[in-house]
Amino acid sequence: MPMSAAALESELRAAFPDAEIAIDDLAGDGDHYRARITSTAFAGLTRVRQHQLVYQALKGKVGGVLHALALETAPPTEAKG
């Protein structure tokens, strides 16, 4: 069963309560999303480490109920508008 954008956002908000989060359903199938996350939790971390935190927050759902997730992460000072 695919994961809804609302469910994905809810899980991300639980892990990153201060975050600005934007979810795009890339294929319209509930399986391929892009998530743009701006959070103070990413301050001072490499992009790889930021993405690792997101994957940890999703507890193994990427590659399972969530087929593909394109990530754009940044601390607030580096966020792109």
Residues in the chain: 81
CA distance 42 to 51: 9
Give the residue, 81 or 33, on which the prediction is more confident. Answer: 33
- Identify the CATH homologous superfamily for domain 5-76: BolA-like (3.30.300.90)
Is the per-residue pLDDT at 4 higher than 60? yes
In the predicted model, is pLDDT for residue 78 greater than 70?
Answer: no
Domain ranges of the chain: 5-76
State the Cα–Cα distance between residues 47 and 58, nearest whole angstrom: 17
Identify whether the C-beta of residue 65 lies closer than 8 Å to the C-beta of residue 2. yes
Burial class (CB in 10 A: 0-12, 13-18, 19+), 7: middle
For the chain, give the percent of residues with pLDDT over 70.
95
**pLDDT tier at 48 (50, 70, 90 boundaries)?**
very high
Tokens of 54: 């997101």
